């Protein structure tokens, strides 16, 4: 038996690398025409590269090769372990095995890990037939009609290049729109590398064959959320990645690069995403989806996007609305509703048995009322679960005719050390009703694990709320200091996006000691909203907690407020009296520029624009404003919308605090182009 082959089932199993060899250098593979047998894993399933013939790619630890048959009809999935016997031939200069016998040795989703594209650029011949993946820059797009091909280069700027090619027989051929891609754009490509020699000019090309449309993604894409749709997100603090699931599929946000990337459509996932909860298991480095009513549990590998069901249970359907959390590598779920009852039980997933188990509770422990919890957090340092509020009935049974609906405002903790529940406190209901809603009304669902923010070092819990009748900012936090059982009033952080950013998901990033928010730009006259990430140092968020300070009693707080009001009135009266109506007339027209910039109602971006307009002492074009504030946003339509929104918002706030005065920012026609407008400060109201 020669090198490159092993004996099995009375057949010689060849290494694929040996089948591609041309040791005599005559330009033809040495074993052409021989009957060969190989073993490996399928990197693409049937009905992908062709819906009429069987076209697969199989790879072992040495290389990969195409498998073809116009006779066999065998269902093969990517990741299946195969043994293929057939004749080694060439088709359009590409080696292939024309199948005589194909055995599926083992079914599964263990797709071989893709080879880094950065290495492939340097020595492509070492990776023939293998699955490759990585980022690249487009050098040139398709030129001949109906040929979908891109020339790509490394992001490092070297002279190496490859081609991306989509055959007309690919079932997703029409979905690959290369006309929208231009030179210089960064993309992420995943596919199978082949070597092709042109019959036309004899040149050799190395091509990456994407399997499905989601194998090709464009960097710097802007994820958009449809009104009423779900938005799930979780953070991997080790890699600095936020994973987000929308209707369009799985997205990733790189915290260091500050860019979104579309990862995968997860087209093989069963059912609708909206019927599942979502989280990232930091111990196993896997994304997980599980039934909203508990039961089914799936793992998704963020490297290969392969989906694996891991439970051996049926749908429970009795914990809809539960609060989920991870303790070490174990997924837990508290509370929820199902089969006409509210619940206060806690279950966890038992990995050795691949089934759900009930969490033990000390027999002397009190229990929180049965409920759908509003939100919660798990403190790993304290090994404690905290839950806040929720909905249920006073009896816990929805079918009890004598029971009444109940909205809870209490906070409970569960210690895994003592296995006991303890009531911590009850938050007072706000007079205006805020606190009843924890995410914007335009959002359909969020994953509950990311529905509030917790700073573990300070043991400060920020519970989001949305004011049903906002006067200005609609979003607030209620901050709770868990050790002291103190709660603040409403805290409104400055998100620095013209007051339009509405957070939906909340995370703490210990690497940077910062709060990380995923949310939407709450724009008007639209049903789709851009999704953004906002970051804020933890100490900046803590500095916002001043309403009222913890060290002041409520009575003392309002007493000081009263003194300020009285002092302000006396000061105004003293200034007004000697000058009569003259001062009143002056104050109604002139406003200090410095007091305007110090006004608390303007956020940092609005102040930045006002300050720039004052410094320039001229009217500005729309493009200059957009470059000043949103140079990181490429979409023209989106920047224009943000510009219009911030100008309207500045004038709205100015008119609110200075009624009857007019607008602080004026608009006039550009004398050089009547189709354009210029914007500047209304100087008649400003004094230095």
Last residue of a domain, one of 106, 133, 153: 106
Model confidence over 293-345: pLDDT tens digits? 999 999 999 988 889 999 988 889 999 999 999 998 899 999 999 988 999 99
Half-sphere exposure of 471 (CA within 13 A, CB side): 5
Residues 422 and 559 in one domain: no
Q: Edge-to-edge strand order for the sheet containing 323-327?
A: 323-327, 330-338, 341-350, 355-358
Please name every residue paired with 347 in a beta bridge, in sequence order, or none if there are none: 333, 358
Q: Residue 150 is part of a domain; what is its CATH number?
A: 2.40.50.140
Comparison of pLDDT for 61 and 660, the residue scoring more: 61
Q: Residue 634 pLDDT > 90, yes or no?
A: no
The pLDDT value recorded for residue 9 is 54
Q: Are 394 and 520 in the same domain?
A: yes
Cα 378 off chain centre by: 21
Q: Please state, in angstroms and rounded to a whole number, the distance separating the CA atoms of residues 544 and 547.
A: 8
Question: Phi then psi for 543, rounded to 5 degrees?
Answer: -65, -20
437 and 377 within one domain: yes
Q: Is residue 1's pLDDT more than 50?
A: no
Q: How far apart are CA 250 and CA 267, in angstroms?
A: 10
Q: Helix, strand, coil: what percent of the chain each, to 5?
A: 20, 40, 40
Mark whether 536 and 626 lie in a shared domain. no
Q: How far apart are CA 54 and CA 41, in angstroms?
A: 15
Nearest in space to 679 (alpha carbons), one of 651, 641, 639, 638: 651
Q: Please compute the mean of the pLDDT values over residues 612-639 and round it to a whole number.
A: 84
Q: What is the pTM of this model?
A: 0.58
- Distance in angstroms (rounded) separating the CA atoms of residues 192 and 208: 5
DSSP letters, 541-591, are HHHT--SS-TTS-HHHHHHHHHHHHHHHHHHHHHHHHHHTHHHHHHHHH-E
Given a cut of 80, whether residue 564 has pLDDT beyond it is no
Give the pLDDT band of residue 432 (cuts 50, 70, 90): very low
List strand residue ranges (DSSP E) for 603-652, in order. 620-621
- Domain end (from 543, 574, 602): 543
C-alpha torsion sign, points 344, 322, 450, 347:
positive
3-state secondary structure 509-525: ECCCCEEEEEEEECCCC
Distance of CA 86 to the CA centre of its chain: 46
Rounded Cα distance, 345 and 240, in Å? 34
Alpha carbon distance 601, 607 (integer Å): 10
Question: Is residue 294 in some structural domain?
Answer: no
pLDDT band at 440 (very low <50, low <70, confident <90, very high): low
Across the range 495-501, mean pLDDT stands at: 65
CATH classification at residue 367? 2.120.10
Number of domains present in the structure of the chain:
5
Q: Is residue 15, in this structure, part of any structural domain at all?
A: yes
| Structural domain containing residue 681 | 590-687
In a domain, 609, yes or no: yes
Scan for tokens 């000019």, then name that residue: 201
Of residues 381 and 307, more confidently modeled: 307
Which sign, positive or negative, has the C-alpha torsion 314, 320, 326, 332?
Answer: negative
> Distance between CA atoms of 68 and 651, rounded to whole angstroms?
68
Alpha-carbon gap, residue 34 to 22, rounded angstroms? 14
284 in any annotated domain: no
Task: To the nearest 10°, report the CA torsion of 121, 125, 129, 135.
Answer: 0
In this structure, are 632 and 562 located in the same domain?
Answer: no
Res 199: pLDDT:
76
According to the 3-state scheme, what is the secondary structure of 256-276? CCCEEEEEECCCCCCCCHHHE
Q: Are residues 421 and 537 in the same domain?
A: yes
Name which of 39-53, 84-98, 246-260, 628-642 the model is least confident about: 628-642
Q: Residue 639: which pLDDT band, with cuts at 50, 70 and 90?
A: confident
The length of the chain, given as a count of residues: 688
Domain co-membership, 538 together with 599: no
Whether residues 532 and 616 share a domain: the answer is: no
Residues 388 and 487 grouped into a single domain:
yes
Give the pLDDT confidence score for residue 588 in this predicted structure.
39
Query: Across residues 431-454, what is the average pLDDT?
Result: 73
Q: What are phi and psi of 200, to 5 degrees?
A: -80, -50
CB 519 within 8 A of CB 500: no
564 in the same domain as 537:
no
The answer to whether residue 585 scores a pLDDT higher than 50 is: no
Q: Which two tokens stand for residue 676?
A: 């354009």
Residue 561's pLDDT band (boundaries 50, 70, 90)?
low
- Report which of 405, 410, 387 is spatially closest to residue 395, judged by C-alpha positions: 405
Contact 149/137 with Cβ under 8 angstroms? no
Helix (H) or strand (E) holding 17: helix 16-19
Q: Residue 151 CB: number of other CB atoms within 10 A?
A: 17
Do the Cβ atoms of 29 and 19 come closer than 8 Å?
yes
Q: 631: which 2 tokens?
A: 């140079």
Average pLDDT rounded to a whole number, residues 660-672: 84
Instruction: Tell me the average pLDDT of the chain.
Output: 84
Does residue 125 form part of some domain?
Answer: yes
Specify if 291 maps to a domain. Answer: no
Q: Which two tokens stand for residue 634?
A: 């490429």
Between these two residues, 248 and 239, which has the higher pLDDT value? Answer: 239
Residues 328 and 469 in one domain: yes
Which of 138, 141, 150, 145 shows the shortest CA–CA distance to 210? 150
Residue 443 contacts by C-beta under 8 Å, 6 or more apart in sequence?
Answer: 225, 228, 229, 230, 231, 504, 520
Task: Give the Cβ contact number of residue 125 at 10 Å.
Answer: 12
CA 577 to chain centre: 60
22 is a domain residue: yes
pLDDT of the residue at 441 = 67
When pLDDT is averaged across residues 555-576 and rounded to a whole number, the result is: 52
Query: What pLDDT is attached to residue 273?
Result: 92
CA distance 595 to 206: 64
List, edge to edge, every strand of the sheet that includes 375-379: 375-379, 384-393, 405-415, 420-426
Domain's final residue, options 486, 515, 543: 543
**Do residues 407 and 379 share a domain?**
yes
Question: Does residue 225 lie within any of the structural domains?
Answer: no
Q: What integer is the mean pLDDT of 604-620?
A: 89
What does the radius of gyration of the chain's CA atoms come to, in whole angstroms? 31
Is 140 in contact with 183 (CB distance < 8 Å)?
Answer: yes
């Amino acid at each position: 038996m020669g090198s490159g082959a092993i004996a099995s089932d009375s057949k010689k199993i060849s290494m694929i690398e040996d089948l591609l060899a041309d040791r005599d250098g005559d330009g033809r593979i040495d074993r052409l025409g021989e009957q060969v047998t190989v073993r490996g894993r399928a990197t693409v399933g049937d009905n992908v590269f062709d819906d009429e013939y069987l076209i697969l790619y199989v790879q072992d630890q040495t290389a990969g090769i195409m498998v073809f048959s116009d006779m066999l009809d065998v269902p093969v999935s990517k990741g299946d372990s195969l043994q293929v016997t057939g004749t080694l031939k060439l088709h359009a200069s590409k080696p292939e095995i024309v199948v005589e016998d194909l055995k599926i040795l083992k079914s599964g989703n263990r797709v071989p890990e893709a080879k880094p594209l950065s290495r492939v650029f340097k020595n492509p011949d070492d990776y023939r037939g293998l699955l490759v993946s990585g980022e690249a820059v487009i050098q040139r797009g398709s030129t001949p009609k109906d040929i979908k091909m891109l020339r790509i280069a490394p992001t490092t700027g070297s002279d190496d290049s490859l081609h991306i090619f989509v055959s007309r027989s690919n079932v997703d051929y029409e979905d690959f729109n290369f006309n929208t891609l231009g030179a210089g754009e960064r993309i992420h490509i995943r596919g199978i590398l082949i070597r092709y020699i042109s019959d036309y000019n004899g040149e050799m090309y190395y091509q990456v064959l994407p399997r499905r449309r989601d194998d090709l993604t464009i960097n710097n894409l802007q994820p958009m959320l449809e009104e009423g749709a779900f938005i799930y997100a979780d953070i991997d603090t080790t890699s600095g990645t936020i994973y987000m699931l929308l209707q369009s599929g799985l997205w990733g946000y790189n915290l260091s690069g500050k860019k979104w990337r579309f990862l995968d459509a997860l087209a093989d996932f069963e059912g609708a995403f909206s019927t599942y909860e979502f989280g990232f298991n930091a111990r196993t480095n896997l994304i997980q989806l599980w039934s909203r009513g508990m039961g089914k549990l799936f793992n998704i590998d963020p490297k290969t996007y392969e989906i694996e069901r891991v439970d051996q249970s049926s749908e429970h359907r009795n914990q809809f609305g539960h609060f989920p959390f991870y303790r070490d590598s174990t997924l837990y779920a508290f509370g929820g509703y199902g089969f006409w009852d509210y619940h206060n039980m806690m279950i966890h997933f038992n990995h050795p048995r691949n089934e759900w188990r009930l969490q033990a509770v000390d027999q002397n422990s009190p229990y929180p009322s049965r409920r759908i919890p509003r939100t919660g957090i798990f403190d790993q340092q304290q090994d404690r679960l905290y839950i806040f509020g929720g909905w249920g009935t006073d009896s816990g049974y929805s079918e009890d005719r004598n029971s009444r609906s109940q909205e809870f405002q209490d906070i409970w903790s569960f210690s895994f050390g003592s296995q006991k529940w303890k009531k911590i406190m009850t938050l007072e209901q706000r007079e205006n009703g805020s606190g009843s809603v924890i995410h914007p009304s335009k959002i359909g669902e969020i994953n509950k694990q990311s529905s509030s923010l917790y700073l573990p070092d300070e043991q400060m819990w920020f519970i989001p709320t949305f004011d049903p009748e906002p006067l200005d900012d609609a979003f607030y936090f209620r901050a709770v200091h868990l050790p002291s059982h103190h709660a603040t009033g409403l805290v409104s952080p400055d998100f620095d996006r013209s007051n339009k950013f509405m957070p939906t998901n909340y995370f703490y990033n210990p690497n940077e000691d910062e709060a990380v928010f995923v949310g939407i730009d709450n724009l008007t006259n639209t049903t789709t909203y851009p999704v953004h990430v906002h970051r804020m140092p933890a100490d900046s968020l803590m500095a916002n907690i001043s309403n009222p300070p913890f060290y002041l009693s409520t009575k003392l707080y309002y007493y000081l407020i009263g003194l300020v009001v009285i002092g302000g009135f006396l000061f105004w009266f003293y200034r007004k009296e000697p000058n009569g109506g003259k001062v009143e007339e002056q104050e109604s027209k002139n406003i200090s520029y410095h007091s305007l910039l110090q006004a608390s109602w303007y956020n940092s971006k609005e102040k930045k624009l006002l300050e720039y307009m004052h410094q320039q002492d001229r009217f500005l074009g729309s493009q200059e404003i957009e470059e000043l504030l949103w140079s990181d946003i490429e979409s023209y339509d989106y920047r224009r919308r943000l510009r219009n929104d911030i100008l309207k918002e500045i004038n709205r706030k100015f008119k609110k605090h200075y009624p009857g005065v007019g607008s602080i920012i004026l608009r006039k026609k550009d004398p050089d182009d009547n189709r354009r407008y210029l914007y500047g400060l209304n100087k008649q109201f400003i004094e230095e």
